[in-house]
Amino acid sequence: MRIFRYLLAIVPMTIANAADELSLDHFDPPRFQAPKAKGTMTIVPGKVGNAARLQFDHGNQNVFFPSNIRGTPAWDRADGFSFWVKGDAKDGVGGLQMIFDDDYAVRYDFAFPVKGTEWTKVEVAWSDMIPVLPGPRAKPLGTPDGNPPSKITAVWIGKWWYWGDYPALSFTIDELQLEPTITRANNDFTPKGNPLERVAAKIRAGKPITIVTMGDSLTDKRHWANRPTCWVDLLKANLDARFKSEVTIVNPAIGGTQLRQNVVLIPKWLETTPSPDLVTIFFGGNDYDSGMRGPEFERACIDAIDRVRRATKGKADILLLTTNPTAAAWGRTDQLSDACRRAAKARNAGLADTRAAFETASGNDRNALFVDDRVHLSKRGHEVVAETIEGAILGPGKK
């Protein structure tokens, strides 16, 4: 009888302890704090008990709601974490950032959509968190050969510098907790044959297609060098004219950014373009300047290909462009171009070898392919990129 009473006494406590181990923030009260400017937090009724309504003002670059949440050994036993979120009738995308081992050069970011006014559960596997800066410690989170989640030392809600735009946004968040098990579909979206066969067939048939052009300042039409002419417009015009294929371009490129940072932002364009026919990926200059080198860039390219395929449920063909040379430092980033080639082969993605094309097109005057800074593309340089992409999709010289 005493043993029975003892069990009755300890079982509820054990269940409570397990729940406490999983909970990171019940928001009763919240462990997050409001920033000093451009952000306010209000306690409101939540999914369970209270929740926190976070208001970001317009221009909220580098504005974060910090918390005192730190990793524990329980994090290493979990597959990831989850939280509940609901919007305020205005769609948008929120951001989450984690710092590893008090090292601000090892940051993991995650973007999540905020839609509608109903509660939505967001589940995040540790590997969903993307290391947004290069370096030897920027390993995947929670994988056998990666960094242990237990060494996360900061959890923030907000957007870092590379998002490109920072509109006003508000949402309510509740019940942030560890998830012992997160089930992921094991679909293999790797194509078996020609990785660009589907989009090529549509173009040849004169059917409409949609292309998402992920990139940095060589693709961002807001950059001063691209305003007169940009390869994305030339590609569209060429395909429209030659094949009568109506091309819609969705251009999320942001000047000054790196590959992994743009991979974080996939949810921004995915909300409006969930099933593009083609996604082009064109990066490397900023990555190299930030310390990215060949082996790490190859892993980043492979990860980008895999994430785009999962995000589009395999409906998008993928075309990887090699890192482009510059007249200012011709050949300096060749190891990144080599990494692109290896990544495309490893994941059977399309490859547009702009590095080789620029070598051929340069002749005796490399400067002709660039504007005065000898880095960004001239009209001729943009033409070479567009021609190389068209040749990669349809075959060289094919009309």
Residues 6+ apart with CB under 8 A from 254: 162, 163, 164, 216, 220, 261, 262, 265
CA angle 17, 23, 28 (to 5 degrees): 105
| 157-198: pLDDT as tens digits | 999 999 999 999 999 999 999 999 999 888 899 999 999 999
* Whether the Cβ atoms of residue 135 and residue 105 lie closer than 8 Å to each other: yes
- 348 domain-assigned: yes
Tokens of 244: 């009568």
Asked if residue 162 is part of any domain, the answer here is yes
Q: Does residue 292 register a pLDDT over 90?
A: yes
User: Quick check: helix, strand or coil at residue 366?
Assistant: helix
Residues 325 and 241 in one domain: yes
158: domain range? 23-179
List strands edge to edge, sheet with 103-114: 63-66, 152-159, 92-100, 103-114, 130-131
Regarding whether 268 and 143 lie in a shared domain, the answer is no
Tokens of 209: 């297609």
pLDDT over 70 (residue 13):
no
C-alpha span between 343 and 337 (Å, rounded):
10
300 within some domain: yes
Residue 1 lies in a domain: no
Average pLDDT over residues 110-137: 96
pLDDT of residue 229: 97
State residue 20's pLDDT score. 75
pLDDT greater than 70 at residue 1: no
Domain closes at, from 126, 147, 179:
179
What pLDDT, on the 0 to 100 scale, is given for residue 11? Answer: 46
36 found inside a domain: yes
Expressed in percent and rounded to 5, the helix, strand and coil fractions of the chain are 35, 25, 40
Indicate whether 147 and 244 sit together in one domain.
Answer: no
For residue 59, how many C-alpha atoms fall within 13 Å in the half-sphere facing its CB?
2
- Residue 19 has what pLDDT? 64
| Residues near 120 by beta carbon (within 8 Å), at least 6 away in sequence | 84, 85, 86
Of 179, 208, 242, which closes a domain? 179
Q: Are 38 and 63 in contact (CB under 8 A)?
A: yes
Name every residue whose Cβ is closer than 8 Å to that of residue 192 and which is 6 or more positions away in sequence: 348
Place of tokens 């399309």: 350
pLDDT for 260-277, tens place per residue? 999 999 999 999 999 999
Query: What's the predicted TM-score (pTM) here?
Result: 0.93
CATH of the domain at 171: 2.60.120.430
Residues 165 and 227 in one domain: no
Residue 112 backbone phi and psi in degrees, to 5: -135, 140
Residue 175 and residue 218 in one domain: no
Q: What's the average model confidence in pLDDT over 131-148? A: 97
Q: What pLDDT score was predicted for residue 39?
A: 98
In a domain, 16, yes or no: no
Q: Which of 175, 163, 177 is nearest to 64 (CA)?
A: 163
Residues 279, 358 share a domain: yes
CATH classification at residue 365: 3.40.50.1110
Q: What is the DSSP string of 49-113?
A: SEEEEEEEPSS-TTEEEEB-----HHHHHSSEEEEEEEESSS-EEEEEEEEETTEEEEEEEEEEE
CA separation for the pair 212, 234 (Å, rounded): 15
Mean pLDDT of the residues in the chain: 94
Domain boundary among 122, 152, 179: 179
The strand pairing partners of 14, in sequence order, are: none
Residue 35 to residue 49: CA distance in whole angstroms: 24
Q: Are residues 201 and 338 in the same domain?
A: yes
Q: What pLDDT score does 4 carry?
A: 39
Diameter of the chain by CA atoms?
A: 95
Residues 94 and 203 grouped into a single domain = no
Residues 377 and 247 in one domain: yes
Co-location of 45 and 111 in the same domain: yes
Q: Is residue 188 part of a domain?
A: no
Assess if residue 325 is contained within a domain. yes
Do 209 and 239 fall within a single domain? yes
Are 162 and 297 part of one and the same domain? no
Looking at the 3D structure of the chain, how many domains does it have? 2
Positive or negative, the CA dihedral 39, 42, 46, 48 is: positive
